[in-house]
Each structure stands twice: as structure tokens, then as C-alpha cells.
Amino acid sequence: MLDKKFFIENIKTLFYALIIAIIIRSLLIQPFYIPSSSMEPNLLVGDRLFVTKYSYGYSKHSFPFSPPLFKGRILESKPERGDVIVFKTPADNRTDYIKRLIGLPGDQIQFIESNLYINNNEVLKSRISNKDLIYCGSKKINVFTFEESLPNGKLYNSVYLKDYSFQNSDKFIVPEDHYFFLGDNRDCSKDSRFLTSVGYVHKDNLVGKAQFIFFSSDKTIGSIFSFWKWNKSIRLDRFLKKIR
């Protein structure tokens, strides 16, 4: 009898813990892992970060498996240009992407001779390094590193291949209630420039704002389970680093 009661109490405890975890994950904060190099040099493969779910309000995508609990967003707050945001890609409304918000509803975005223009005004950038090696998938590429300044004063680093492979584009006109995103690794990012795979992102697809890195490890050196390599694989300098 005692064993049965003990078993039931443990099941109840696990159930309550699961409910609390789902509430925290859905309404407050959620951890994410960076699997690709599209946001280098600011986010590296192996970074683990916290995303605040309340930053822009809530939609069905705030919850696990995106249940159709309600339509639209509640407690909505507008994102700011330059925010690093997790969103559900419009291609399947299921896969999480993380990119930088560049274009707001009604904006015109264009690349002219590898320079980014917003509403016909060039986004100013200053070169801070002529020789950097970063990842593009499993390959290392030589890039120029710039500090870019968006119209609202937001500063961040971006990188471009030395031959500027993405040089010119048509004008992207951001529809109402949609946003335009770019990866900071400009020549190695699937983002809103590619309309058939990502394109413009509806406001309901926003999941949350990336805030800071809480853990980071270089998987090219060894997995997190290879404790004898921790002195080389764990990036202590990235712990608690705020994402800008």
C-alpha cells in the first residue's frame, strides 16, 4: 500500500513539474541552441541562449507544437529594428530560425553593389577587420568584418565574403504585418532575401527575443560529453554574453 502511494505521489510531482516547465517555456523564457553559422560572428554554432517569450506578446507559436488556441497575438509589443529574434519560418510554420530584424512593415530593402539600403538610404558600415576566418557550414571562409549602424542607431557586427557574392537585388517591399530578416553572416544565410524558402515573416510567427548566451561549446573539438576536452571546447568567454 505504501509503495503504491509513493508511486502515485511521484507521478503527481513529475506531472506538476512538467506543467510548470511548460508554463515557463511558453510564457517567460526558453533555451535555444544555435545549429548553423548564419549569425556569425555574433552567434556561433554551439551557443546556447535564452529567448524571452513575453517580449513581443504571444501567439500560437509561443507554445509547444503551435496549438491553435487563439488567432493573432495577445499582449502584443512591436519589435525594434536590429533585434535578434527567433521565429517560425513561413515555409512550414514549424522550424525555428534566428536572424536579425532589418525591415519593418512598409520598408523598402535593397542591396546595391553589396551595400544594404533601407528606404533608399544606405546602411552605414565601417570595416573593422580585413582578415577574419568564420564558418559557413563546415567550411571556413575569409571575410571582411564591418560594424553596421541601422537607422535607429542599433550597432552590430556583420561579415561579407571578400568577393561580395550577394551584390545586387530587386527591391523588397515589406508587406503589412510582416518583417524582413537577415543573417549577420551575409553571404552564408538563408533569410528573407530568399522568398520561396523564408521571405517575409508574419508578426504571428515571432517566437521571442534573443537575450544572452548562457553556455557555449565548440563541437568541432568535441561533444559536451567529452569532458577530457572541456578545457578546449567550452567557450568560457561567451558565458552570460548579452546579444546585441
- Catalytic annotation, pick one of 38, 62, 158, 216: 38
Across 49-78, average pLDDT: 95
- Per the residue annotation, which of 99, 189, 216, 233 is the catalytic one? 99
How far is the C-alpha of 107 from the C-alpha of 172, rounded, in Å?
8
Condensed to tens digits (0 to 9), the pLDDT of residues 31-41 reads 999 999 999 99
Q: Is 197 within the bounds of a domain?
A: yes
Burial 133-169 (b: 16+ CB within 10 A, else e): ebbbeeeebebbbbebebeeebebbbbbbeeeeeeee
Does residue 75 belong to any structural domain of this protein?
no
* Number of residues that this document lists for the chain: 244
38 is catalytic: yes
Give the pLDDT confidence of 215-242 residue by residue, as tens digits.
Answer: 999 988 877 777 787 888 999 999 999 9
Within-domain flag for 71: no
Q: Which domain holds residue 55?
A: 2-64+80-242
- Within a domain: residue 35? yes
- The percentage of residues in the chain with a pLDDT greater than 90, rounded to a whole number, is 74
Query: What mean pLDDT comes out for the span 166-189?
Result: 95
What domain count does the chain have? 1
Residue 69 lies in a domain: no
In terms of DSSP bridges, do strands 172-173 and 178-182 run parallel, antiparallel, or are they unpaired?
unpaired
Residue 170 sits in a domain whose CATH number is 2.10.109.10
Can you tell me the distance from the alpha carbon of 139 to that of 133, in angstroms, rounded to the nearest whole number? 10
For residue range 13-23, list pLDDT tens digits in order.
888 888 888 88
Q: Report the C-alpha gap between 184 and 187 in whole angstroms.
A: 9
